[in-house]
Amino acid sequence: MITTPPLIALDGISKAFGPVQANQDISLAFRAGKIKSLLGENGAGKSTLMSILAGRLQPDKGRILVEGQPARFRTAQDAINVGIGMVYQHFMLVEAMTVAENIFLGYPGPPLLKPSVMEDRVAALAEEVSLTIDPRARVSTLSMGEKQRVEILKLLFRENRILIFDEPTAVLTPQEADQLFEALRQLAAQHKAIVFISHKLDEVMALSDEIAVLHKGRVVADTAATTIQSKAELAQLMVGREVILQVARDPFEARQRVLRISGLDDGELQDIHLELRQGEILGLVGVAGNGQKPLVETVCGLKPPMSGTVRIMGQDWHRFFKGRRWDGNLAYIPEDRQGLATCRDLSLTDNLLLTTRHGFAVGPWLQHRKAENKMAELSTSFNIVPPNPRLMARQLSGGNLQKMVIAREFFRRPRLIVAEQPTQGLDIAATEEVWRLLLKARERAGILLVTGDLSEALALADRVAVMFEGRIVDTFPAEDQEKIKRIGLMMAGSADDDPPRRQA
């Protein structure tokens, strides 16, 4: 019997970065028509392994086989030439270009295509796979969820036969994720090999044909999805212990008002009314691009309110941002952890100092050694791997970099926390840790939780606010089951006949 070799296979791949062994003797096969999920906790070596497969990194030893034949990828172009395409966790887009220009960038088609031709082709592709996007929009104006759609469309446009998706649903709503899954199933039916990297175990169980698990750089499981009986079994394979992503959200007394927005309107936002008190979490949900980004930017001081009133800790917006302290105040955990939250080419210690430097200053002198010791302490407390405060931010995995940002902002002991996709890219154990930290932070802070993960919002929030086209469609207690049933419709703007609810 003749067995068809896999489209691509890894044979004994190892890769180290100095003393850190990211991958160790890894062998995996990816077959046509199959969706293979790759799991592992933060720092397990998933992104390194996929970067090797995509030609961005060279292995220290081992080989890659394409349809049974050895191949060497010296560059990303070598991988592209054999049909490998990857949507990275951190987007590879040119911010100054339009959506259509990004998708056509590097495409070996006719030169000097008219913008209208490119836009029509991108619009047709977007409609075909139900990933709505404006082809004429500049990437710099898009939300993270919209940028994710551009990356996915870019990959589909090139008609690759081995498709790697690194945390593709991290910033997608459930509806958007369902649309992506349907597109992936269609692609697998076209005899493409799909590699799906995710920390969301529900997705993995629902989507996968095969599942491989990495733990500390090694393969600890590689099996058909049907052999895995539960999410708990997957979680135990990933982290080496039982993990149940469930936290107790005990009632907590809402106290001093820390944020009040009345009639905020600036073109993108329309008549926003919100109130947040110390002791509560307000979950803000909606399809990406419906006003969450400009609202967060206004609350966090990145853009002034054009009309209406924004009061933070009892102070007018302008007065608050003119003289705020570094601690005991407002902390912002951005969804864009590489572009806004951190500087890739600075050490973890220097990234800590980006928002805490006044806490390590004596007159004109900066106590860098004290900051380094604090970063080492935070690395241990928040399980940041590797726990080396002198590492560059770019040397951390995406999930560990996210934990560094959360550790830094929690160190500031804020009274108002704006947490934007705070568990994006985190494994199940780290997500559980962050959930517990956010619930504990209610003791001294009000938390605006901006998330595309409805399960996260419902697990943590005391109240939920739904946004659509720049408006707050409704705000309701997280225990209101009738409202919860209609969240999906609200996010599409068609849930209630009632007008948006204002808050006093």
Residue 171 in any domain: the answer is: yes
- Do 200 and 332 have their domain in common? no
Q: What pLDDT is recorded for position 500?
A: 44
Instruction: Say which range, 14-23, 124-133, 274-283, has the weakest mean pLDDT.
Output: 124-133
Amino acid sitting at position 407: A
**Which of 81-90, 216-225, 385-394 shows the lowest per-residue confidence on average (mean pLDDT)?**
81-90
pLDDT of amino acid 412: 94
131 pLDDT band (50/70/90 cuts)? confident
For residue 197, is pLDDT > 60?
yes
- The mean per-residue pLDDT over the stretch 362-378 comes to 95
Instruction: Give me the mean pLDDT over the 356-368 stretch.
Output: 93
> What does the DSSP 8-state code read for residue 421?
S
Q: Which long-range contacts (CB under 8 A, 24 or more apart) does 289-293 make?
A: 289/142, 289/143, 289/145, 289/146, 290/467, 290/468, 290/469, 290/470, 290/491, 291/467, 291/469, 291/470, 291/471, 292/143, 292/420, 292/450, 292/467, 293/143
Q: Is residue 306 part of a domain?
A: no
Which residue intervals of 357-447 are DSSP H helices?
Answer: 368-381, 398-411, 428-441
Residue 95 lies in a domain: yes
269 — pLDDT class (breaks 50, 70, 90): very high
Q: What is the pLDDT of residues 372-385, one digit of tens each?
A: 999 999 999 888 88
Q: What is the pLDDT of residue 235?
A: 79
Crossing angle for the helix pair 348-356 and 398-411, nearest 10 degrees? Answer: 40
User: Same domain for 113 and 210?
Assistant: yes
Among residues 210, 239, 268, the one where a domain terminates is: 239
- Regarding whether 219 and 324 lie in a shared domain, the answer is no
In this structure, the answer to whether residues 233 and 317 fall within a common structural domain is no
21 located within any domain: yes
Each residue of 64-93: pLDDT tens digit?
999 999 999 999 889 988 999 888 766 789
> How many domains would you assign to the chain?
2
Handedness of CA 255, 260, 262, 264 (dihedral sign): negative
- The band of 323, judged by pLDDT with boundaries at 50, 70 and 90, is confident
Q: What integer is the mean pLDDT of 43-51? A: 87
Mean pLDDT along residues 105-134: 84
pLDDT of residue 331: 95
Q: Taking residues 148-164, what's their average pLDDT?
A: 85
Q: Assess if residue 302 is contained within a domain.
A: no
Q: In this model, does residue 413 exceed pLDDT 70?
A: yes
Model confidence pTM above 0.75:
no
- Provide the residue range defining the domain that includes 144: 8-239
| Domain stops at, among 239, 263, 296 | 239
Mean pLDDT for the stretch of residues 416-435: 84
- What is the reported pLDDT for 454? 81
The residue that leads in pLDDT, 372 or 20, is: 372
Residue among 479, 466, 480, 472 at smallest CA distance from 499: 472
The confidence score (pLDDT) of residue 502 equals 41
CATH number for the domain that contains residue 135: 3.40.50.300
When pLDDT is cut at 50, 70 and 90, the band that residue 2 belongs to is low
| 3-state SS class at 420 | strand
Last residue of a domain, one of 239, 254, 283: 239
- Mean of the per-residue pLDDT values of the chain: 87
Q: What is the average pLDDT across 21-42? A: 93
pLDDT at 420: 93
Residue-wise pLDDT for 453-504, tens only, equals 788 898 899 999 999 989 999 999 988 988 988 887 888 776 544 444 444 3
What is the secondary structure of 426-495 as a DSSP string?
Answer: --HHHHHHHHHHHHHHTTT-EEEEE-S-HHHHHHH-SEEEEEETTEEEEEEETT-HHHHHTHHHHHTT-S
**Residue 242: what pLDDT?**
63
Q: Quick one: average pLDDT of 264-284? A: 93
Task: Give the span between the Cα atoms of 169 and 458, in whole angstroms.
Answer: 18
- Does residue 284 lie in a domain region? no
